[in-house]
């Protein structure tokens, strides 16, 4: 999926967010405006849900633009009215800091997945079972935890909670880059039967593709199970009541989300939208479940 130019040009200042001249309304006061902008992060469930809803809304006659951004930029974009929707809000913990800063300018549309959890995982053949064993086994992993994006809540939790709590300062470094890079390194390590420790989360198709185990977290540094929530800019429900009603009905269980991700990332890895369409074709009941009454 081609990356939007905005994801390459945006810096730390969201004030420079310029989706395009045609995006200034984002719903706005024009009753004929049917353009919706969805911001998403590079987490697989976000990519899957975004592609799914792009197709659903386009079928309803909306013009949908999707933009990949860091989480902080998405939240600030919603607060500023430049981003209409974000389908991957992890609450109450992972995105807590963003909601504390921008929550009064953001609407919570509905929870669509209720068993999300952050994790740090290793291949099952690695003889380490708990985070409190990492310090003594740092050399096994070359002193590295392979992470994802700098802006991810999982990254913050690992840096600020896991590492100091389990005595990993000076012993293990969290190496951040992107979700795709982490998965590439995980795949390569498993192919060679090598030890690796990565930041991961549920739901994720990697658990179906690889034999992984989550390291026990006796100090609960990664929190408990969370809910994945659809978030919107203030006023979205008023501007798009039918869309808001459909999104409020949106629910997925492990089987549904796992199969959607499989269609997108494994069966159609070079065309995510085609994967989402294939899943919709195989799951016609989904459209009935979200139909506005």
CATH number at residue 178: 3.40.190.100
Whether 124 and 94 map to the same domain: the answer is no
Number of H helices, E strands in the chain: 13, 9
Per-residue pLDDT of the chain (293 residues; tens, 9 = 90+): 333 333 333 333 333 343 333 333 444 434 447 999 999 998 889 999 999 999 999 999 999 999 999 999 999 999 999 999 999 999 998 899 999 999 999 999 999 999 898 999 999 999 999 999 999 999 999 999 999 999 888 999 999 999 999 999 999 999 999 988 999 999 999 999 999 999 999 888 888 789 999 999 999 999 888 999 999 999 999 999 999 999 999 999 888 998 899 899 989 989 999 999 999 999 999 999 998 66
In angstroms, how far is CA 146 from the centroid of its own chain? 17
Q: 44-59 vs 254-261: helix axis angle to the nearest 10?
A: 90
Same domain, 120 and 182: yes
Residue 248 lies in a domain: yes
CA distance 203 to 38: 21
Give the domain extent around 200.
Answer: 116-214
CA–CA gap between residue 243 and residue 27 (Å, rounded): 11
Q: Are residues 240 and 97 in the same domain?
A: yes
Q: Spell out the residues 6+ positions from residue 278 whose beta carbon is closer than 8 angstroms to its own.
A: 263, 267, 268
CB 62 within 8 A of CB 36: yes
Strand extents, DSSP E, the chain: 35-40, 63-68, 85-91, 106-123, 144-146, 173-175, 198-202, 212-214, 226-233
Neighbours of 222 (CB within 10 A): 23
Whether pTM > 0.75 for this model: the answer is: no
Let me know: does 276 contact 288? Beta carbons within 8 Å: no
């Amino acid at each position: 999926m081609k990356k939007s130019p905005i994801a390459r040009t945006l810096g730390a200042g969201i004030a420079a967010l310029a989706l395009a001249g045609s995006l200034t309304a984002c719903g706005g006061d024009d009753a004929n405006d049917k353009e919706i902008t969805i911001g998403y992060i590079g987490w697989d469930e976000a990519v899957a849900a975004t592609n799914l809803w792009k197709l659903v809304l386009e079928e309803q006659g909306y013009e949908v633009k999707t933009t990949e951004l860091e989480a902080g930029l998405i939240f600030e974009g919603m607060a500023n009215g430049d981003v209409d929707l974000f389908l991957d809000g992890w609450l109450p913990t992972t995105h807590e800091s963003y909601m504390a800063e921008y929550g009064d300018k953001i609407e919570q549309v509905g929870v669509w997945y209720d068993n999300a959890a952050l994790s740090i995982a290793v291949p099952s053949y690695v003889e380490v079972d708990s985070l409190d064993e990492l310090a003594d086994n740092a050399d096994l992993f070359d002193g590295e935890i392979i992470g994802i994006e700098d802006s991810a809540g999982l990254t913050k939790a690992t840096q600020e909670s896991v590492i100091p709590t389990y005595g990993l300062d000076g012993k293990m470094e969290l190496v951040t880059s992107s979700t795709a890079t982490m998965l590439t390194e995980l795949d390569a390590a498993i192919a060679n039967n090598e030890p690796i420790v990565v930041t991961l989360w549920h739901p994720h198709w990697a658990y179906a593709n690889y034999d992984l185990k989550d390291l026990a977290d006796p100090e609960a540094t990664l929190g408990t199970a969370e809910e994945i929530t659809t978030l919107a800019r203030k006023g979205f429900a008023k501007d798009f009541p039918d869309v808001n009603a459909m999104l409020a009905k949106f629910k997925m269980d492990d089987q549904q989300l796992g199969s959607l991700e499989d269609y997108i990332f494994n069966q159609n890895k070079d065309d995510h939208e085609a994967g989402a369409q294939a899943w919709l074709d195989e799951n016609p009941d989904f459209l009935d479940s979200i139909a506005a009454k």
